[in-house]
């Protein structure tokens, strides 16, 4: 697959442990914050989003936390599995621009050790 | 996955040649996008379309043009390829009124020698 990022920060965890991936965002006016997962050789895949007026949202095995005071977003993955190995992007999304496009951060690589 | 296909999947070309990448979707999504992805960067928006024949520029549009003559097809053209356009190109679609999920194609790896 393609080289997603040669110098991405990397988080290495043991299978079964919980993972926490952190992100600092820049645009306080974003309406939503979204986490995408990108496996090697594939396009990004939506995981979970959180509206800007919320501070926590849970999905299946994932939880996203939003701290607007310090512009910080985190993704928690419970019981991390080898299939979770990928690059994770925090993404900003605004509805009031006509483009409805995503603004990607630079990404964090998650490596799950068996 | 919104039935998104990209063609070609890989291409090697020479500086100065024109290149066209194709994105095809089967889900009738209104919005379509072209992003590029380079090492050390997330995806960056090149151009987008909000309907047939309705397109606009993104943050890194210099050297690129797009066309959308049918809902299902979105073409990205490099009029005269340069080495700085060596990248992986992703197409995405976005259906309105169905949440915030954008769907991405598998990508096209373009190398400009």
Q: How far is B49 from chain A (nearest CA, A)?
A: 8
Residues in B touching A34 (Cβ below 8 Å): 100
Residue B16 clears pLDDT 90, i.e. is over it? yes
* CA–CA dist A102, B33 (Å, integer): 10
pLDDT in tens, chain A (114 residues): 333 345 689 999 999 999 999 999 988 889 999 999 999 999 999 999 999 999 999 999 999 999 999 999 999 999 999 999 999 999 999 887 677 889 998 899 999 998
In A, what residues contact B, Cβ < 8 A? 2-8, 32, 34, 41-46, 49, 89, 91, 93, 98-107
Contact residues, chain A, for B86 at CB < 8 Å: none
Q: Do A101 and B48 touch (CB under 8 A)?
A: yes
β-strand pairing of B54-57 with B43-51: antiparallel
Could you give the CA distance from residue A92 to residue A24 in angstroms, rounded to a whole number? 11
Are the C-beta atoms of B92 and B28 separated by less than 8 Å?
no
Q: Which two tokens stand for residue B43?
A: 């995806």
- What gap in Å lies between CA B75 and CA A70, rounded to an integer? 40
Q: Cα–Cα distances in Å, from B5 out to A59, A96, B62?
A: 28, 29, 24
Percent of all residues in chain B with a pLDDT value above 70, rounded to a whole number = 97
Per DSSP, the three-state class of A83 is helix
- Per-residue confidence (pLDDT) for residue A1, from 0 to 100: 34
SS3 of residue A82 by DSSP: helix
Which residues of B are less than 8 Å from A2 in CB distance? 37, 88, 107, 109
Q: What pLDDT does A50 receive? A: 97
Q: Using CA atoms, how far apart are residues A90 and B6, in angstroms rounded to an integer? A: 24
Average pLDDT for B63-85? 97
Is residue B43 predicted with pLDDT exceeding 60?
yes
Q: How far apart are CA B42 and CA A18, in angstroms?
A: 24
pLDDT band at B97; cut points 50, 70, 90: confident
């Amino acid at each position: 697959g393609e080289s997603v990022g040669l110098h991405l920060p990397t988080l290495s965890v043991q299978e079964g442990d919980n993972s926490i991936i952190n992100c600092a965002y820049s645009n306080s006016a974003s309406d939503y914050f979204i986490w995408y997962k990108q496996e090697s050789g594939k396009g990004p895949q939506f995981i979970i989003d959180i509206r800007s007026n919320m501070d926590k949202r849970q999905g299946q095995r994932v939880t996203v936390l939003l701290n607007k005071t310090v512009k910080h977003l985190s993704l928690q993955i419970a019981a991390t599995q080898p299939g979770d190995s990928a690059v994770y992007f925090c993404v900003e999304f605004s509805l009031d621009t006509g483009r409805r496009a995503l603004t990607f951060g630079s990404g964090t690589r998650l490596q799950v050790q068996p | 996955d919104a039935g998104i296909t990209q063609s070609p999947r890989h291409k090697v070309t020479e500086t100065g040649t024109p290149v066209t990448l194709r994105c095809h979707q089967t889900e009738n999504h209104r919005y379509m996008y072209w992003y590029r992805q380079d090492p050390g960067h997330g995806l960056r928006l090149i151009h987008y379309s909000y309907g047939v024949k309705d397109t606009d520029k993104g943050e890194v549009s210099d050297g690129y043009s797009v066309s959308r003559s049918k809902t299902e097809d979105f073409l990205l053209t490099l009029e005269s390829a340069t080495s700085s356009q060596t990248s992986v190109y992703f197409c995405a679609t976005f259906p309105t009124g169905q949440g915030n999920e954008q769907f991405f194609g598998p990508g096209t790896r373009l190398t400009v020698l």
